[in-house]
Structure 1
Amino acid sequence: MKELIAKRHPYLFFDQAWVARFRVQLQQDESLAREWQAFLEKADDLLKNPFIDEAEADGEDSQHGRYGPPSEQVAKMGTMLGLAYQVTGQRFYAEKLRDGLLHYGTYLKWHGKGLLRNDPSWHSELNTSRFCHGFAVGYDCIHDFLSTEERTVIRQSLLELGVLPTLKDWVFADTRIHALDSMGHNWWAVMIGTAGVGVLSVIDEEPEAGAWLDEIIRIFPEYFLYKGSVLGNKSLNYDEAGAFYESLNYADYGLYEYLVFRLAYQHSFGYTDFSDIPVLAKAGGFFLQTTYPASERPLTVNFGDGSIYSGAVQAAKLLLANGFEDPRLRWYLREWKAEYGFYDFIRQDLIWQGEMSPPSSVETSAIYADIGWATMRDGWEKDRTMLAVKSGFTWNHAHADAGSFVLYHKGRPLLIDSGNCAYDRPEYVDYYLQSEAHNVVLFNGEGQLRSDVRSGVKEPGQLYHLIDHAGLRYVYADAAGPMSPHFSRNFRHFLWVDGVIVIMDDIRAHEKGNLQWLLHYEGDTCIDERGSLRITNGDASVIVKHLFPKKLIVKQKEGLKDHNPAIKVTYLSFEEEELVQEAKFITALIPIESERSLPEVTALEGHELQGIRIRSDGKETDIYWNLRADGRIMHQNCIRKLNGWETDAYLIAITRPVGADEEDLTMVERCFIGHGSILRHKGHTLFASMSRATACLKLSIDEVSISLQGQPYIRAEIRPIVLPEHVTATGNAKVITRGNGVIVISQLSAMATRRPG
């Protein structure tokens, strides 16, 4: 264990040298002084709050009891009153904090009594962590104010009621109850992180604290690198790209508490090496990609347990405070109008004083394949359009929602997730967690097994092949695993092109039944003059147009309002008139833009073919769905001729100017191939690869650009009619050669453990 830089309290997050500098800053910086005055007003409010008796805290028989209010009070007092005392020197702040620590140190336990009935009994929970945080910071801040006896009493309370029960439950090999995959995954980071802060606060006064700290430091990388358990049926914690599977809300919670510990460890030991946990440098990207900037207030993707109106502000601040520099995170904090708090003052140089910039125009889509989330948007300006898709794991804050999606447009939520409610209400498990609360396809009214939300889904959903290129966006969801009791195929494709989001569902059930295509929405509904459904929320509207099957019955269903199960809401179910075993749904979502005419959307149909034609802004895109390529044949070639295009692709989309000659290949401006190895037109091969790939080509006389997805190793050929001067490829794809009319593209990525889709 390293030695402390300075053993004089305070040292956890700041020292006396920082206090002196900060006092000078307050005299020189009017904006900072205003923030500090607002902070002091909140601290003054805490002076008025009475302490809570343990009888009240223990009055509810559950794992948390009513320990939430006292633990939150202690956590706020420790940081706010402690910092106020150090900066102002006013003794009444220290007196109130001291009295609070002494009062809550008389409690017999810092957890709900329901924990004791567990087998084996637990002795720590999330409230314990808040007590640890408040006691540790408070003790550090008023150490010089306390008498020797008071220090001993408070230190013993922290250790005996908080730190040691937590370490015995979660860390020590001789007593540990929990493993990384035994409890809800955010708990582990919260419990160990705040216990670690407690250990640091007594590191020079408790002889065994150094050994405890070494064990915490040793274990934490394992938490971030945990990849799940097949036998235990548990998900990984963190996606390789930085996302946390339990939802944005719990990504904020768990990561924040860990980063608080890390910040204290840095300041106490001068630790600055971040190489041990690489995913931390990527976590901020997850917060950015799940945010929707809006004029009224930002929204967030609320898959799982969270709120559409809450971002990951605290974790974003602590990433910056810990040295993970990212100008986009300061933009994020401004979007969410983040208020100043304890850590903002202490690390204002890192949190607020650096460069600030929004995400770039090339960051409009993101996929988190390990947890099954994807987001796509048409820009970062306020009130644009954003689509988010989920098809991943189900268990512990992750709902039974494989294949679900949400749509935000013009600053409003239009197509929504049903959200959640208090966890102790029966509606939480009976409705909000279940498939019927999400935008999925049910079979005879049933979705995923209802037990998935408690025992975990055995075969989680997956997302594959995100494309964002040349104005076309695509991703597809495999939700067959979670729905395997009912379906052998449950694939949902999202193709966003020319102002229209096309959703294509490929369903094959084990037997005939009633398929129900669910749609949860926010706002009012009506049928427009074209016979399509129109959903309106304030100034935002979207048209929902089903092209296939041609005859659907629309039924109104009763659901529950987000965070308010006492209020009933309506959602829609689109159903076929007869029982079927197989179905292909093609649905167009058309977000209405007042400044431009509505795209024209018509159905295309032929032998072993369904599709859609989109006309918008002088462009015409034909989307062809090769029904022969849906797995119905074995050992035979699924090549079809689709209106002059010969291909084995599952999907293709061809874009030309409106009115262009369909026989003239030079008029094709963009070409999308979904899961295909060959694309030929009138004998000319435009695209070829030995394995089926997903690709988007932008074609012109001057330039060809390619986005390519598929196997870990792909070699593809593109043969435009005219070989242009400029050829580019995106992502891991590289241009190998160009000449004799042929462009060779290769992509070699790390071998994935999951199937390439």
Structure 2
Amino acid sequence: MGKMTKKQHPYLYFDQNWVAYFRVQLQEDENLRREWQAYVAKADGLLENSFTDEVEADGVDSQHGKYGPPSEQVAKMGTMLGLVYQVTGQRHYAEKLKEALLHYSTYQKWHGKGLLKNDPPWHSELNTSRFCHGFAVGYDCIYELLSTEERETIRRSLLNLGVLPTLKDWVFADTRIHTLDSMGHNWWAVMIGLAGVGVLSVMEEEPEASVWLNEIIRIFPEYFLYKGSVLGSKSLNYDEAGAFYESLNYADYGLYEYLVFRLAYQHAFGYTDISDIPDLAKAGDFFLHTTYPASERPLTVNFGDGYMYTGAVHAAKMLLATGLDDPRLRWYLKEWQAEYGFYDFIQQDRIWQGESSPPSSAETSIIYEGIGWATMRDGWEKDGTLLAVKSGFTWNHCHADAGSFVLYHKGRPLLIDSGNCSYERPEYVDYYVQSEAHNVVLFNGEGQLRSDMPRGVKEPGHVYHLVDHAGLRYVYADATGPMSMHFSRNFRHFLWGDGVIVILDDIRAHEKGHLQWLLHFEGETCMVENGPLRITNGDASVIVKHLFPQQLTLKQKEGMADHAPDTKVTYLSYETCESVHEAKFITAVIPMEPEQPLPEVTALEGHEMLGVRIRSGGKQTDIYWNLRADGRVMHQNCIRKLNGWETDAYLIAVTRPEGADEDDWTNIERCFIGYGSVLRHSGHTLFASMSRATVCLELSAEEVSVSLQGQPCIRAEIRPAIMPQRSTAMGCAEVVSEDDGVIVIRQSTALATRRPG
């Protein structure tokens, strides 16, 4: 930690030089002046507020009690009244704030009394942190108007009711209750971050403050780098790509409160570099990739305890405010029509004045292997199509939803997550967090163990091998671990191309039973010709067509609406007609495009093979599922001939012009290989590698482009019908040579630590 030069209040987030600068800005910038006037109007509304008596706040025997309203009130007053007073100089704002700080200084504690029944007792919770923030900013803003006695009263209350109880519970080695393993989620960042703001506000008066601050600064990187625990069944906090495991809602909350502290620290010490915690530069990507731009209002991927209609605007603002200059985040804030608040005015230049632009067309898909999320989209234009998949951890705010997915299309949610409700409602545990509230496969009506939520799932799910290449997108989810009491195989593959999302479920149970393929939706349903289901929400529609098993019973089930457990909704269950030991489901999901012909989707079936044929836009794509490659043979390779294609691949998909000769392998324009080492046709080897790989090839006389994933070290050969003018490889792969009709591709990621999947 650097040394803070002696400062005069206010100094936490701004000083008198900024106040003078901001007054000039208000005269010159009409838009800023309009936002400021709206902010002052809100501050005026606070002047009429009465204060909560502690008897009322302590009236409920729970961890939070009724301390929420007073803590939120003082947090708003500290920032709003404090800032308006400093800019306008009108003392009545400061007087109301002083009255609030002195009133809440009379409290005996800043937490619900239910905490004291914990073993050992706790003395701080989320309301404590809000009190800390409001007191810290308020003290800083009206310091000059306080008498010596008033300063002492407010400072002692901040320390004794907020900062020290928090640090004793969460930081100090001699008294600490919590660890990253016990509370390794949003609480940790919120509690310590806002206590840190409290520490910074009294740096000039409190001799021990620098010691406390040093400890906070020292341990915060450990929070971001925490990778979970096998013994404790705990998830990592942050994925290496910047995603937070507890859902977008809590990514916004926890990160925002940490950055509130970081911004104050930067202002106090003149520190602006964010490279000490690399995840900060990546966290904004998680917000971007989980948002869906829509004409009416943007939507969010709401796995876990998220909310479809709320974005991570608070954390996005603070990332910009603390020095991350990302034009995509400004675009994000504009999409969500984020309102101005305390930090927007103070850091207007960083948050709002820079360049704004959407993510690039190269950023349409992302995989978060650490938390088990993947998102794929057809672009960043409003009202496009987004598919999101989750197969990760279950604990705390993460539901029993391994293998689930959502689909947004034409500005509307169509295939959805059930969401959540108030945590105090019994329906939260009894329904929303359970498997039946998600788009998964059940066994005899049962999903994941109900104990997974409170104790942590022993074997989490995973997502693997994201492909976004040549107009084809693919990812697969392994949900076997969370359902291992029922299944030895529970794989779900998503292959999206030519306007059709094909979902392939590979299920093998320990014993015979009935399988239920669940589908939660928003809108109205109707059956269409030949049996598919059409789901319509406003102007958006999707066709759901089950191809295999060919005999399924469709049943309607009763669920609960998102954030509205008293509102009953219908969801669907496609069920096997008889008890089975294993099953292969193939389902076509077709987002409907207005004024465009619907893709033609038909089933293919052969010896040890199932498949799908898609005719769309003058192209024909044939998908073949090699059933011998599902682990049923040992030591022998699983080579099959699938309509002329000889391969050991689990999946292949070949695309050619519609009407082209199917016996002529040279006319294919795109080829997907899922978990295969060889692909041959008519005695010619198109692809070969010594270990199985996931590959997508785009083939033309001008170019052969390759997406290759597999083992950490892999060498592959491609032998196209015509050697192209150029060859390119995506990601970590590289073209090694192009000689004698053979293109050699190599990928070497020797430092890889994860099983390739």
**TM-score with structure 2 setting the length:** 0.99
Residue 321 of structure 1: aligned partner: 321
Kindly indicate whether the alpha-carbon contact (under 8 Å) linking 2:184 and 2:223 is maintained by their aligned counterparts in 1.
no
Kindly indicate whether the alpha-carbon contact (under 8 Å) linking 2:57 and 2:66 is maintained by their aligned counterparts in 1.
yes
Q: Helix, strand or coil: the match of 2:334? A: helix
Q: CA deviation at 1:204?
A: 1.1
**Alignment map for 1:300-379 (pairs within 5 Å):** 300-379=300-379
| Cα distance in 2 between the residues matched to 1:660 and 1:163 | 73
Kindly indicate whether the alpha-carbon contact (under 8 Å) linking 1:394 and 1:453 is maintained by their aligned counterparts in 2.
yes
Is 1:514 matched with 2:479? no
Residue 47 of structure 2: aligned partner: 47
Q: CA deviation at 1:6?
A: 4.5
Specify the code of the residue in structure 1 equivalent to 2:26. Answer: L
| Cα distance in 2 between the residues matched to 1:658 and 1:477 | 31
| Cα distance in 2 between the residues matched to 1:114 and 1:753 | 43
Specify the code of the residue in structure 2 equivalent to 1:308. Answer: M
Q: Helix, strand or coil: the match of 2:47? A: helix
Is 1:541 matched with 2:541? yes
**Alignment map for 1:427-446 (pairs within 5 Å):** 427-446=427-446
Q: Helix, strand or coil: the match of 2:662? A: coil
**Alignment map for 1:617-628 (pairs within 5 Å):** 617-628=617-628
Q: Helix, strand or coil: the match of 1:706? A: strand
**Alignment map for 1:739-754 (pairs within 5 Å):** 739-754=739-754
Residue 463 of structure 1: aligned partner: 463
| Cα distance in 2 between the residues matched to 1:426 and 1:615 | 48
Q: Helix, strand or coil: the match of 1:142? A: helix
Residue 475 of structure 1: aligned partner: 475
| 1:37-90 Cα distance to aligned partner (Å, 9 max, x none) | 000000101111111111111111100001110000011001100000000000
| Cα distance in 1 between the residues matched to 2:477 and 2:354 | 39
Residue 564 of structure 2: aligned partner: 564
Specify the code of the residue in structure 1 equivalent to 2:125. Answer: E
Q: CA deviation at 1:129?
A: 0.5
Q: CA deviation at 1:272?
A: 1.9
Q: CA deviation at 1:713?
A: 1.4
| 1:95-149 Cα distance to aligned partner (Å, 9 max, x none) | 0000000001111100000000000000000000000011001111111111111
Kindly indicate whether the alpha-carbon contact (under 8 Å) linking 2:441 and 2:515 is maintained by their aligned counterparts in 1.
yes
| Cα distance in 1 between the residues matched to 2:540 and 2:571 | 18
Q: CA deviation at 1:5?
A: 3.8
| Cα distance in 2 between the residues matched to 1:371 and 1:395 | 12
Residue 695 of structure 2: aligned partner: 695
| Cα distance in 2 between the residues matched to 1:629 and 1:666 | 26
Residue 138 of structure 2: aligned partner: 138
Q: Helix, strand or coil: the match of 2:442? A: strand
Kindly indicate whether the alpha-carbon contact (under 8 Å) linking 1:466 and 1:474 is maintained by their aligned counterparts in 2.
yes
| Cα distance in 2 between the residues matched to 1:234 and 1:348 | 39
| 1:678-705 Cα distance to aligned partner (Å, 9 max, x none) | 0011111111111100010000011100
| Cα distance in 1 between the residues matched to 2:544 and 2:697 | 28
| 1:705-745 Cα distance to aligned partner (Å, 9 max, x none) | 01111111111111101110111111111111111111111
| Cα distance in 2 between the residues matched to 1:360 and 1:687 | 31
Specify the code of the residue in structure 2 equivalent to 1:349. Answer: D
**Alignment map for 1:370-389 (pairs within 5 Å):** 370-389=370-389
Q: Helix, strand or coil: the match of 1:273? A: coil
Q: CA deviation at 1:4?
A: 1.8
Q: CA deviation at 1:276?
A: 1.4
Q: CA deviation at 1:275?
A: 2.0
Residue 530 of structure 1: aligned partner: 530
Residue 235 of structure 2: aligned partner: 235
Kindly indicate whether the alpha-carbon contact (under 8 Å) linking 1:384 and 1:410 is maintained by their aligned counterparts in 2.
yes
Q: Helix, strand or coil: the match of 2:560? A: strand
Is 1:632 matched with 2:632? yes
| 1:421-477 Cα distance to aligned partner (Å, 9 max, x none) | 000111000100000000000000000000000000000000000000000000000
Q: CA deviation at 1:754?
A: 2.5
| Cα distance in 2 between the residues matched to 1:714 and 1:343 | 49
Kindly indicate whether the alpha-carbon contact (under 8 Å) linking 2:292 and 2:386 is maintained by their aligned counterparts in 1.
yes
Is 1:496 matched with 2:490? no
Seq. identity, %: 80
Kindly indicate whether the alpha-carbon contact (under 8 Å) linking 2:736 and 2:745 is maintained by their aligned counterparts in 1.
yes
Q: CA deviation at 1:663?
A: 2.2
**Alignment map for 1:82-121 (pairs within 5 Å):** 82-121=82-121
Residue 276 of structure 1: aligned partner: 276
Q: CA deviation at 1:184?
A: 5.2
Specify the code of the residue in structure 2 equivalent to 1:654. Answer: V
Specify the code of the residue in structure 2 equivalent to 1:222. Answer: E
| 1:194-218 Cα distance to aligned partner (Å, 9 max, x none) | 0000000001100000000000000
| Cα distance in 2 between the residues matched to 1:374 and 1:275 | 26
Kindly indicate whether the alpha-carbon contact (under 8 Å) linking 1:6 and 1:268 is maintained by their aligned counterparts in 2.
no
The unaligned stretches of length 5 or more in structure 1 are: none
The unaligned stretches of length 5 or more in structure 2 are: none
Specify the code of the residue in structure 2 equivalent to 1:249. Answer: N
Q: Helix, strand or coil: the match of 2:593? A: coil
Kindly indicate whether the alpha-carbon contact (under 8 Å) linking 1:184 and 1:396 is maintained by their aligned counterparts in 2.
no
Q: CA deviation at 1:529?
A: 2.0
| Cα distance in 2 between the residues matched to 1:260 and 1:712 | 40
Kindly indicate whether the alpha-carbon contact (under 8 Å) linking 1:5 and 1:270 is maintained by their aligned counterparts in 2.
no
Aligned residues: 757
Q: CA deviation at 1:750?
A: 5.0
Q: CA deviation at 1:522?
A: 0.3
Is 1:604 matched with 2:604? yes
| Cα distance in 2 between the residues matched to 1:173 and 1:695 | 51
Kindly indicate whether the alpha-carbon contact (under 8 Å) linking 1:376 and 1:388 is maintained by their aligned counterparts in 2.
yes
Q: Helix, strand or coil: the match of 2:94? A: helix
| Cα distance in 1 between the residues matched to 2:577 and 2:287 | 43
Kindly indicate whether the alpha-carbon contact (under 8 Å) linking 2:252 and 2:315 is maintained by their aligned counterparts in 1.
yes
Q: CA deviation at 1:273?
A: 2.4
| Cα distance in 2 between the residues matched to 1:691 and 1:207 | 63
Specify the code of the residue in structure 2 equivalent to 1:595. Answer: E
Q: CA deviation at 1:271?
A: 1.0
Q: Aligned Cα RMSD in Å?
A: 0.7
**Alignment map for 1:707-726 (pairs within 5 Å):** 707-726=707-726
Q: CA deviation at 1:2?
A: 2.5
The range that moved more, 258-267 or 5-14, is: 5-14
Is 1:395 matched with 2:395? yes
| Cα distance in 1 between the residues matched to 2:238 and 2:493 | 25
| Cα distance in 2 between the residues matched to 1:186 and 1:748 | 36
Residue 23 of structure 1: aligned partner: 23
